Amino acid sequence: MKQHTLASSCVFTGVGLHSGKPVEMRLLPAPDDYGIVFQRTDLGEEVFVHATVANVSKTRRSTELAEQGAKVRTAEHLLAALRCLDVDNVLVQLNAAEVPILDGSARPYVKALQECGLTEQKTERRYRVVTRHAEYRDAKSGSSIVVDPCDDLIVDLTIDFKSPMVGRQQAVYDATVDFATQIAPCRTFCFYREVAWLRLFGLIKGGSLDNALVIDDRKKAFLGGKVLQFDNELARHKLLDLLGDFALAGFPIRGRITACKPGHKLNTQALQYFISESIL
Ligand SMILES: [Zn+2]
């Protein structure tokens, strides 16, 4: 398959989930072999941040990239949409440090990308192919990511929260799953009991019931009377996060990924490990 870029450009305005700051984001077509590259237009014409796992700088409640002092926060939902809609090459201009959270899912990105359409380019697409069975585990949390060779990308993900509202859930992504309708609409979530703690650490300043599901275990309900779109929406959102983090591999992945209790830290550390060991 050939590489693809956008057929036209699109623009988003919103706020950053963690910074709370307003941001305008513009997606523009880019040449063959360009990859996914952010440009911090507020910092200057030549300030670029490449979407690669080597640039991961922080993973507390989102994936943050940094290159030569310039940051891009909370890129994961956009990256998942770009990767799963086969956008190989794109320039993402931002006039602030954080990608707009919009409704907390990847649906608005998908809708805009579908409206933009794609252009086929001249160069063949490259892949990262899983070469052998390998495991990356965090003994403390009991979380793990295991990869195995496979002709297609398959992600099998399990979450297990000590919460009566969540518990153990599984979600799968493979060639039969339509990313746009089955994974992209699944929203960010957090627990009501951790909101004060997250605020104390300067996070979720832009968080609201319009862009996150907030789980109240004591009332056994979602704040604001929100209802789930899928029984396992929370596991599907973690799947969306993983797809976004693994887009930092630079190329689409061919292989089977089995993830247990993953998060941004585990995803990006595992990816870095698999690449450094030539497993991917
Ligand atoms: Zn997320």
Beta strands in the chain (DSSP E): 2-6, 10-15, 22-29, 36-40, 48-50, 56-58, 64-67, 70-72, 90-94, 118-124, 128-129, 134-138, 143-148, 153-161, 167-173, 189-191, 213-216, 221-222, 253-260
CATH class of 128-276: alpha beta
pLDDT band at 108 (very low <50, low <70, confident <90, very high): very high
* Candidate CATH numbers 1.10.760.10, 3.30.930.10, 3.30.230.20, 2.60.210.10; the one for domain 2-124: 3.30.230.20
- Which has more confidence, 89 or 211? 89
* Rounded average pLDDT over 108-119: 96
Domain ranges of the chain: 2-124, 128-276
* Rounded average pLDDT over 122-147: 96
pLDDT band at 279 (very low <50, low <70, confident <90, very high): very high
Has residue 199 got a pLDDT over 90?
Answer: no
214 CB burial (10 A radius; 0-12, 13-18, 19+): buried
Has residue 210 got a pLDDT over 90?
Answer: no
Tokens of residue 247, six digits: 């887009």
Distance, CA 261 to ligand 1 centroid (Å)?
A: 14
- What dihedral do alpha carbons 61, 62, 66, 71 form, nearest 10°? -100
Has residue 23 got a pLDDT over 90?
Answer: yes
Distance, CA 77 to ligand 1 centroid (Å)?
A: 6
In the structure, ligand 1 is a single-atom ion and the residues with CB under 5 Å from it are 188, 241
pLDDT at residue 256, rounded to an integer: 98
Has residue 186 got a pLDDT over 90?
Answer: yes
Distance, CA 76 to ligand 1 centroid (Å)?
A: 7
pLDDT at residue 59, rounded to an integer: 92
- Which has more confidence, 246 or 141? 246
- One of 4, 77, 237, 264 is an active-site residue; which one? 264
Beta strands in 99-206 (DSSP E): 118-124, 128-129, 134-138, 143-148, 153-161, 167-173, 189-191
